[in-house]
Structure 1
Amino acid sequence: MPLALLALAVGAFGLGTTEFVMMGLLPEIAAGNEVSIPTAGHLISGYALGVVIGAPALTAVGARLPRKTMLLGTMALFTASNLVSALAPNHETLLATRVLAGLPHGTFFGVGAVVAASLVAREHRAKAVSMMFAGLTLANVVGVPLGTLLGQQVGWRWTFVMVGLVGAAALVSVAALVPRQPAPRDAGMRRELGAFRRPQVWLALGIVTFGFGGTFACFSYITPMMTDVAGYDAGSVTWLLALFGVGMTIGNLLGGRLADRALMPSLYGFLAGLALMLGLFAFTAHDKVLAAVTIFLIGVTGFAAGPTVQTLILDRAEGAPSLAAASIQSAFNIANAIGAYLGGLVISAGLGLTAPNLVGAGLAVVGLGIAVVSGVLARRKNAREGGGPTPSEGDGSTGAELPAAPAGGFGERATSPIGR
């Protein structure tokens, strides 16, 4: 695999760390800025708002720029925002910098996925995307616990300094390792927005919204579920979250490999497995050992779908992938909000702390249904056009018999990774 994927993974690590570390630092930040914990929680919502707004906006505005320039620009904004966050004199300023830090999140992942896929032959695209996203999953295993510990022991401002340094390392790595790629031919805001006229793009976003919404319905309430239902002490939740992160990492890498073999069947299997694990968790949450095993498996099945869906939307966007791929991150954050809201709704209704797992299972089933509709429509379209089965429609082939996509991929000129 090209070294450029390592540079993209470093950026993903920084983005993942700053997105999720806030959850462990709310008491320290609330005390430092003299606000309540619920008010400090707006910092989480502010970052998510930045992602939802920034992903389509920055990608559309920069559609005519070379993709390496977009990667450097978004990582520079991310790095600067986190370093300024470390100096924020009050809650309002910190909230503003959190929104700014969220703006480049979706664009970096969307453009990064397109670049990652363009660096390898067509039959290895999903694996390449999963290598970049491994940085995001590893952030939950290493970055978030380390950042939380640093913030608790030394001060929360140092956590932002740490993330800023990771962003600076990613900036240097992208500049040195990612090959220069010219702006896509006929690129522009109108062309990128044109991808949203395709129902398949909306179906892919729907898969993310409901499929990952199922994961967040459960994950948002994992701490009270483990302490009040499974019987773990509060200190044990940290390693349970790390176990979930390990599952995410394994699932992400596994998903990339299986998706290259048969994209749609892999997606069906991951979503069905996620629905099953979430449904079982309503019962296994009452036992410490079974709960830990199920948490790990939810991480595997839930995040195996990540590179699968990202590769799916690269196919469905048909020549204008950047904005559609970036919008996956907006859908991901909407999934977070929907899952958390519905999970809280059933708890408030008195159905118990394990009820969000059943809600999550239902959302995953809806995501699976949307995936099946997407697959059926794609097969019908292919049949009308007189084509044979393709790897993305799930005939189980690796695609090795097809001509490899040029290194530039997706409508770009092929570019050499050397000397550019």
Structure 2
Amino acid sequence: MTLVQQGPEETRSVQRLPLWSLLALTASGFLTIMLETMPAGILPEMSQGLGVSESAAGQFVTAYAIGSIVGAIPIISSTMGWPRRRLLAGALAGYVATSLVVAVSPSFALTLGARFVAGVFAGVVWGIVAGIAGRLVGDEQRGRGLTIALAGTPIALAVGTPAGTLLAGLIGWRFTFVAMAVFAAALIGWVLAVLPALPGQKKGERTPVRRVFTLPGLVPVLVTAVLYVTAHNLLYTYIASFLAPVGLGGAVGAVLMVFGVASLASLAVTGALIDRHLRTLMVLSCAVFAAAMLALGFLAGSPLAVYASATAWGLAFGGAASLLQTAMMNAAGTAVDAAQAVMVTGWNIGIAGGGIAGGVLLGSLGSPSLGWATLALLLGALIIVLAGRRHAFPPRRPDRADRAAAAIHPS
């Protein structure tokens, strides 16, 4: 539907956001993150139920991320011609099947395999959600539409994962995965009911993944995303280990709640400003996150400084996915699907890389090194954002003609 607004000197049309369709995408992202992170909160129960150590059970999260890394590019590349609604519903059906397998699995190997396959489906979901959202809204509202569609990530981190952990305590971890399967099944119905039947790309319209790397601005956006996500996960994964030595081991839940609430507040600010001030918001996101890590480096022993830093961290992180995805779509032009597959791979490399690097640093240099390493990664991201003024993070949003030209003439 189109609303017509009359101004004193101009008449302009503003497309009303297809809210229910965007919220179906939000719910898809929410479920994806829930399934990814939920084992972290119930490791003792899962390890006991399957007869393995907690460190082995922790690989359920790693397997999920690896599945996304392995599956995103080949699957998205091979399904560019599929209708988007059907592909999303198929990926959600994969969640139903893999969650039920985990719920009844008697062995560690089968559970690990199911988690890997679930990660492959997650790579599909993340590979198409941003593209669907971009096609549902007009150019002038792309950032706002993406902010709504991608809000499932910070919402899941703020309230979804803790709620899943609480539910597991009430009904057991196996029935919690059954509940996730039921949620996924209901979400399939929602997607089929509200999403339009967006067609896939015709054969002549598809962009090979290798060509994505020649698009102006795309590589800087991708590298920024990898650095930023690695930085976040390096500290987030080991936040309990970081806080314990400074006497705040019992405050992990409270610190993460402060972070989560601030992340949700960041979404509102990002949604209101992203379409006009993406570059400014991305610079602020990196700078504020870096400042929070600097404060933690010097003042980690102060509870007030820790909570203030967690607040700043949440404010910086909450809208980061929307900012980076919008920058990617602006740089990608008509090659959104191929670019999104590369972005999903880079994003999950950051998740896995943060976990691996954090573990190495924790074991070799101790917990204080986590904050300093996070700071170094963020300074690298900030430099790239500041330098990417022309194509990656320009002061103005490229119009349709600019993006089409970039896709046709990538040099």
TM-score normalised over the length of structure 2? 0.87
Match of 2:372 in 1: 358
Matched, 1:218 2:232: no
1:139 to 139, 156, 162: 156
Cα-to-partner distance string for 1:5-49 (whole Å, 9 max, x where unaligned): 111111111111111111111111111111111111111111011
Q: Distance in 2 between matches of 1:162 and 1:309?
A: 32
Match of 1:81 in 2: 98
The residue matched to 2:150 in structure 1 has which SS? helix
Q: Distance in 2 between matches of 1:25 and 1:70?
A: 31
Match of 2:5 in 1: none
Match of 2:349 in 1: 334
Match of 2:191 in 1: 174
Contact 2:76 2:341 in 1 (8 A): yes
Letter in 1 for 2:380: V
The residue matched to 1:393 in structure 2 has which SS? coil
Letter in 1 for 2:284: G
Match of 1:274 in 2: 289
Match of 2:394 in 1: 393
1:198 to 181, 204, 215: 215
Letter in 1 for 2:195: V
Letter in 1 for 2:66: L
2:264 to 237, 249, 255: 249
CA pair 187-74 structure 1, distance change in 2 beyond 3 A: farther
Q: Distance in 2 between matches of 1:265 and 1:239?
A: 30
Matched, 1:373 2:373: no
The residue matched to 1:182 in structure 2 has which SS? coil
Shift of residue 103, structure 1, vs aligned partner: 0.6
Shift of residue 190, structure 1, vs aligned partner: 5.0
Match of 1:69 in 2: 86
Match of 1:43 in 2: 60
CA pair 137-66 structure 1, distance change in 2 beyond 3 A: same
Q: For 1:151-170, list aligned pairs within 5 A.
A: 151-170=168-187
Shift of residue 189, structure 1, vs aligned partner: 5.9
1:305 to 310, 320, 324: 320
Shift of residue 230, structure 1, vs aligned partner: 4.0
Q: Distance in 2 between matches of 1:124 and 1:267?
A: 17
Matched, 1:97 2:98: no
Match of 1:109 in 2: 126
Q: Distance in 2 between matches of 1:11 and 1:284?
A: 38
Q: Distance in 2 between matches of 1:230 and 1:322?
A: 47
The residue matched to 1:306 in structure 2 has which SS? helix
* Higher mean C-alpha displacement, 184-193 vs 134-143: 184-193
Match of 1:384 in 2: none
CA pair 356-370 structure 1, distance change in 2 beyond 3 A: same
Match of 2:303 in 1: 288
Q: Distance in 2 between matches of 1:126 and 1:298?
A: 21
Shift of residue 209, structure 1, vs aligned partner: 0.8
CA RMSD, aligned part only? 2.4
1:148 to 148, 165, 176: 165
Contact 1:10 1:166 in 2 (8 A): no
Q: Distance in 2 between matches of 1:115 and 1:99?
A: 25
Q: Distance in 1 between matches of 2:108 and 2:67?
A: 17
Shift of residue 94, structure 1, vs aligned partner: 0.4
What is the total number of aligned residue pairs between the two structures?
A: 387
1:118 to 128, 135, 145: 135
Q: Distance in 1 between matches of 2:300 and 2:37?
A: 23
Cα-to-partner distance string for 1:249-298 (whole Å, 9 max, x where unaligned): 22234334322112223212211221111121223321223212211221
Match of 1:17 in 2: 34
Q: Which runs of 5+ in 1 are unaligned?
A: 380-391, 412-420
Shift of residue 152, structure 1, vs aligned partner: 2.8
Contact 2:67 2:123 in 1 (8 A): no
Letter in 2 for 1:356: L
Q: Distance in 2 between matches of 1:87 and 1:345?
A: 34
Q: Which runs of 5+ in 2 are unaligned?
A: 1-16
Letter in 2 for 1:359: A
TM-score normalised over the length of structure 1? 0.86
Letter in 2 for 1:121: G
Contact 1:267 1:371 in 2 (8 A): yes
Q: Distance in 2 between matches of 1:192 and 1:353?
A: 39
Percent of aligned positions with the same letter in both sequences? Answer: 27
Contact 1:281 1:357 in 2 (8 A): yes
Letter in 2 for 1:263: L
Shift of residue 326, structure 1, vs aligned partner: 3.2
The residue matched to 2:217 in structure 1 has which SS? helix
Contact 1:51 1:333 in 2 (8 A): yes
Letter in 2 for 1:238: G
CA pair 404-375 structure 1, distance change in 2 beyond 3 A: closer
Contact 2:240 2:249 in 1 (8 A): no
